[in-house]
Amino acid sequence: MAAVVLRHCRRGLLSISSNGGVGTVQSKDFGGVRQKSTLQYISRPDRPKLAYRRVKGKSPGVVFLPGYGSNMNGQKAEALEEFCRSLGHACLRFDYSGHGASEGVFAEGTIGTWKKDVLFMLDELAEGPQILVGSSMGGWLMLLAAIARPEKTKALVGISTAADHFVTAFKTLPIEVRKECEDKGVWTVTTKNIEEGMYTVSMDFLREAENHCILQSPIPITCPVRLIHGLKDEDVPWHISMQVAERVLSPDVDIILRRHGQHRMAEKDDIKLIVYTIDDLIDKLTTLV
């Protein structure tokens, strides 16, 4: 499998700030002053309003899909917006229902409802071809969206992709632990990535998630796919990215493993790698047009 070659961004040197922000040094009108997109809301009939930030620009656009319980204001999302703005490319980031600034109750969310959120935003706000960038659970939703909207999805970048993860991780637990969770109606998951050190997943959530599992058969995605994963990821094993690579039908798939990378992939070098990967894909897609 081909390796991704890291290089300077073709449009100029890349500047990564200490908080993960990205800018290109060369741009005259960038002026070193960071702009931030405006927080907006979009309404849906009988569904919670979704909060989003959008930068209009050239195609392909970039759509960022955050992880479970996360939001659109993380370092990766903001860095991608800054990068897209500096190139003049469109960028869309948003919060799923029950997340961040969006309406809705988090505990009522499912993989299915959040998939509908993604498809709605792609249909209503993402103009033209898109590169979908999914982090953790967002990587799972990214794959589901690519299957549902192949005409709009021109490339994928998965970061610590958690395809099927809730379901498969629960099934690997000892049977007595699973029985206890089923009796209580919830599964408590430990993690180092949030202050509380744990979060809960309901049995109803897991049962619904089974309807969206994709790793048991070929995945009908044929666009370029890039999968970035850290070998130190203690939340989502890196071999899930390997499984995704084996299942997708695309002939153009690269896996990039970070030796010291952790689940969040939010260190300066992690963000630099993500941006370089997207830049490479924009170059590839633009050349093909």
Catalytic residue set: 136, 233, 263
**Which residues face 26 on adjacent strands?**
none
Helix, strand, coil percentages in the chain from 3-state DSSP, rounded to 5: 35, 25, 40
Tokens of 15: 């500047």
Q: Are strands 253-258 and 186-190 parallel, antiparallel or unpaired?
A: unpaired
Q: By the 8 A CB rule, do 204 and 234 touch?
A: no
**Which residues face 42 on adjacent strands?**
50
Tokens of 155: 């490339």
Give residue 275's identity as a one-letter amino acid code: V
Burial string for 211-245 (b: 16+ CB within 10 Å, else e) reads ebbbbeeebebebbbbbbbbeebebbbbebbebbb
| 3-state class (DSSP) for residue 253 | strand
Identify the residue whose tokens are 């070998």.
231
